[in-house]
Structure 1
Amino acid sequence: MTELPAVLADELRTLLGPGGLLVDESERLVYGYDNSRRQGLPLAVALPTDAAQVQALVGLCRDHGLPLVARGRGTNTTGATVPGEDALVVSFERMDQVLAIRPGDRVAVVQPGLLNGDLQAALAPHGLFWPPDPTSANFSTIGGNLACNAGGPRAVKYGATRDNVLALKAVTGAGALVEFGAATTKGASGYDLSRLLIGSEGTLALIVEATLKLTPLAPQRLALRAIYADVEAAAAAVARLMAQPVTPSMLEFMDGDCVRLARDVGGAELPADAGALLMIEADGDEAVLDAAVAALRQAAGGEGCLSVEAAPDEAARTRLWAARKALSPALRTLAPGKINEDVVVPVSRLPALVAAVRTAAGLHALPIVCFGHAGNGNLHVNILYDPADADQARRADAALETIFDTVIALGGQVSGEHGIGLVKRELLARSLDQATLGLMRAIKSQFDPAGILNPGKVLPASPEGQP
């Protein structure tokens, strides 16, 4: 299919109203890429305004055999929202409302196109927040966070997206409007299908409404900065921190190169001889905060720890976290290209993963820089290389394979929060057995019998060649 059939285009224009269907190439280009740096040109872009329109357009596309790709703001890094050239993009930017905030129930009901940052601003006057806080929070949508099961620094204490959603409304690939869950924190009524949709990257259904579980803002917080002689000492400290009773509200890891970037590029005040750093934060009432910080400080100390200091003021704390969030783009000052992976292992095995990454860097003669959400065992492993150098590109791919093999051997997963999308699709065949993949394909066929929702994403091809 090289262009949208005229009959379908007319039906979609009638359904979506003025400005609801984009067909000019210049407009379509904007919706054809994401942060994976991959790109496709969709046949058209639909901009629905309510669930009824979503349900109707899915029905039309099913009848015409036209693939659909749901899109928030395209901040994901795995190609999950890159359309094929025969696809219709469904952008939820006009479904961006907070439908309700109910402080007594600690819930918010929202549409999928709402920005995470806008939700947090709406919740702040109520003394509440929604825990998922990816680096892209100011630009990413709630629907995108749901699609990828986004996490962020606060996930170590408060959980990722899947842990903070109570109910969903969605449109399946068969065109049915379904509702899962309820606005209660307890429930034992049938299968928990809302958690199944979260992280499915638009391959099972299009989420049109979400009831989110909210958390009260802690009255106080305090940040610790722990400096280590090397990454092995810092990784060992992470295991100690997560083995004791006090759960930090954030626990972030930086290796020596990241510390230098945070200092030289991000403006953080950090010592020049730091081999690794942990950013540790505790939050809570004043009555318990001092004891919590003391426990975290003790666990952070140990062999290889050079210092553990509290941020002197809120401004210093803010600068440090801002430098942490700026790390990913700052890495491009070290090399023209990078492969950024978000692998995750059990926290107790984080030291083994860090050691394996250092070994891979030496084996393949390339710098590999690590930072991330250490309290969840989730590291962003960045392999730095020059894409124009064929030998470096080959060694970068080999290093990546070494790291994936290590992650799987350690009982981890190839994605902690970025998702699978297109980039990591075939990796699932290495990390999951065929029986499990077969069950996932069967679930996909129940939700999307015609296979029109985000085809070619997440699930690898079956041995028989079926999608």
Structure 2
Amino acid sequence: MLLPAEFIQLLQNLIPSDRLYLDPVDCYAYAYDNSRKYFPPECVIFPLTTDEVVKIIQLCNRFKIPLTPRGRGTGTAGGSLAEQGGASLSLERMTRIISIDTANRVLVAEPGVLNESVQVAVKPSGFFWPPDPSSAAFSSIGGNLATCAGGPHAVKYGTTRDHVLGLTAVTGQGDIIKTGCYTTKGVVGYDLTRLLIGSEGTLAVITEATLKLTPLPAARSGLVAHYQNAVSCASAIATIMKEPQGPSALEFLDSGSLDLIRSRNPGMLPDDSRAMLMIEVDGTEHEISETTTRLLAACQNSGLLKALPVQNAADLWKARKTLSPLLRDIAPKKINEDIVVPVDKIPRLLTGLSSLCKQYQIPNVNFGHAGNGNIHVNLLIDPDNPGESGRAYKCLNQIFDLVISLNGTLSGEHGIGSEKRPYINKELNEATLTLMKQIKLTFDPCNILNPGKLFP
């Protein structure tokens, strides 16, 4: 869309030139995220305060200009892309950690603060913030909140939604709202905090977050287990998760993942392993010793090749950290999904995935956070082969049907954005979607905030 001259003039009066991009070349850096789709905005605005966000939203309402909130663009579902043009609202310069209150285990921060910056700030006091997406070094707190990010340690500590006490946000009408409270107990009014977390910037722009901190564990250790096949590995996952003192992280890699790692890193993994578990435990030294013994026993089944402790927790993650860069190298285009099923349904999920990918002749690699049934399914596509792309999306459609049939969900931590928008009615019925759309219009009557996202 072409921005009205009057809108641009009023915007320039509001935001200084070093925090306002109007040149298409400058704006292009904000045209994409990790979904690898491109939608250039007509302008990019960098607010520094809640008051500026209010004025920007009010101005966009006046001229009916689409406004797409954005963090650092690490999302994979297209949630931060300006699909309908207009303005991109980049919160990356709102980087203040406003306060750290270790007595009450609270940190208050602006949305542009990086996840890793929070960890660095609170570690000397013996705390951490549990959400740990793989993009933690680059992703912002605001982005983590927008998608309700998870990560490997969600199996023990939960996702972003479980570690936020309250928010300051600006609605699509330009009203400042404060949700939640400063204390870990509070039941005054509706829980708008949990509503905004995961809403992908469609309801309000978060400008301040009160985060709940967690004491660092005294120690970490772990173990690895290798299996003859994915089914026996998946069976072990269900057994492990029945343990009263479970893992702090439980990651799964299938044969495709292992073959890919072995192709570039000979000797890193056993040649005969067709599925692998990486299991982390934390706590006191005594707790770790006891838990490790119990989990080693839980790994045992007829398909186990070997299971052994890993003393250095950093060594535990070497294989997993090697995988993602390799996927980018071998698959210039891939469909990356983050489906979730109940833990006891993982064997059926993996069997179904294998069958569907064989049926449609699509190479695939599966790995992920097995402890809560969150599997990252990667369909690898040759972009120069249009027939393969068509088969891949037919395969994906049936994968989602399989997930729903297993009482699962289409997204565990990536959100819906635009990538999963066509499939959301597989999980949500018409009455539920209608209510959600009504909530959207209550917060954002002119539909300017991230318009078109989430709903088909």
Do both proteins adopt the same fold according to a TM-score greater than 0.5, normalized to the shorter chain? yes
Pairing 1:376–2:372 present = yes
CA deviations over 1:8-58 (Å, ceiling 9, x no partner): 222222222241211011110011111111111111111000111001111
Q: CA deviation at 1:319?
A: 4.2
The aligned residue for residue 436 of structure 2 is: 440
* Distance in 2 between residues matched to 1:260 and 1:455, nearest whole Å: 41
In the alignment, what sits opposite 1:463? none
8 Å contact 1:150–1:417 — kept in the other structure?
yes
Match of 1:358 among 354, 357, 361: 354
Cα distance between partner residues in 1 of 2:170 and 2:260: 44
Could you say which residue in structure 2 is the equivalent of 1:420? 416
Partner residue, 1:105? 104
**1:207 paired residue number:** 206
Task: Write out aligned runs for 1:66-105 (5 A).
Answer: 66-84=65-83, 86-105=85-104
Which AA in structure 2 matches 1:401? N
Matched position secondary structure for 1:243: coil
Asked if structure 1 preserves the Cα contact closer than 8 Å seen for 2:66 and 2:84, the reply is no
**Structure-2 separation of matches of 1:295 and 1:36:** 40
Alignment of 1:393 onto 2:389: yes
Query: Residue in 2 aligned with 1:218?
Result: 217
Amino acid in the other structure paired with 1:74: G
CA distance in 2: counterparts of 1:351 and 1:249, whole angstroms:
21
Match of 2:298 in 1: 299
Counterpart residue type for residue 360 of structure 1: L
What does residue 284 of structure 1 align with?
A: 283
Task: Name the TM-score, length of structure 2 as normaliser.
Answer: 0.97
**Cα distance, 1:287 vs structure 2:** 2.6
Alignment of 1:79-228 (within 5 A): 79-84=78-83, 86-228=85-227
Aligned-pair CA distance for 1:198? 0.5
Q: Does 1:321 align with 2:351?
A: no
One-letter amino acid of the counterpart of residue 97, structure 2 = V
**Equivalent residues of 1:369, 1:381 under 8 A apart:** yes
Aligned partner of residue 415 in structure 1, secondary structure: coil
Cα shift readout 1:316-372 (whole Å, capped 9, x = no counterpart): x42441431342331245444321111111111111111111111221222221000
What secondary structure sits across from 1:392 in the alignment?
helix
The residue type equivalent to 1:151 in the other structure is G
Asked whether the equivalents of residues 224 and 309 of structure 2 are also in contact (C-alpha less than 8 Å), the reply is: yes
> Which stretches in structure 2 are left out of the alignment for 5+ residues?
none
Say yes or no: does 1:347 pair with 2:346: no
Please give the per-residue CA displacement for 1:215-247, whole angstroms capped at 9, x wherever unaligned.
111111111001111111111111111122112
Structure 1 residues not aligned, in runs of 5+ = 461-467
What residue is the counterpart of 1:272 in the other structure? 271
Q: Distance in 1 between matches of 2:203 and 2:332?
A: 37
For 2:340, the aligned partner's letter is V
Aligned-partner residue type, residue 55 of structure 2: A
Residues 46 and 90 in structure 2, CA contact (< 8 A), matched pair in contact too: yes
Question: Which AA in structure 2 matches 1:232?
Answer: V
Distance 1:164 1:267, change over 3 A: farther
Q: Figure out how many residues of one structure are paired with residues of the other and give that number.
A: 456
- Check if 1:14 corresponds to 2:13: yes
Counterpart position of 1:56:
55
Structure 1 counterpart SS, 2:317: helix
2-structure distance, mates of 1:431, 1:302: 35
The AA in structure 2 aligned to 1:358 is S
Cα pair distance change 1:289/1:400, threshold 3 Å: same
SS in 2 for 1:310: strand
Matched AA of 1:405: D
Deviations for 1:237-280, whole angstroms, at most 9, x for unmatched residues?
A: 11111122112100000001212333443678311110100000
Distance, in Å, in 2 between the alignment partners of 1:268 and 1:458 is: 44
AA of the residue aligned to 1:281:
E
What is the aligned partner in structure 1 of residue 230 from structure 2? Answer: 231
**In 2 relative to 1, CA 239–43 (structure 1 residues): closer, same or farther, beyond 3 Å?**
same
Deviation at 1:294, TM superposition (A): 1.2
Q: Aligned pair in 2 of structure 1 residues 73, 170: CA closer, same or farther (>3 Å)?
A: same
Instruction: Please say if residues 268 and 319 of structure 1, whose CA atoms lie closer than 8 Å, have aligned partners that are also in contact.
Output: no
* Structure-1 separation of matches of 2:359 and 2:195: 39
Partner residue, 1:405: 401
| Letter matched to residue 445 of structure 1 | L
Q: CA deviation at 1:169?
A: 0.5
Q: How does 1:256-267 map to 2 (within 5 A)?
A: 256-265=255-264
> Following TM superposition, by how much is the alpha carbon of 1:176 offset from its aligned partner in structure 2, in angstroms?
0.3
**RMSD, aligned CA:** 1.5
Q: Which residue of 2 aligns with 1:464?
A: none
Question: Shift in Å at residue 401 of structure 1?
Answer: 1.5
What letter is aligned with 2:411?
S
Give me the whole-angstrom Cα distance separating, in 1, the residues matched to 2:379 and 2:197: 29
For residues 137 and 265 of structure 2, the distance between their equivalents in structure 1, rounded to whole angstroms, comes to: 19
Preserved contact between residue 266 and residue 322 of structure 1 (Cα < 8 Å): no
Q: Deviations over 1:170-189 (max 9, x none)?
A: 00001000000012111121
One-letter amino acid of the counterpart of residue 38, structure 2: Q
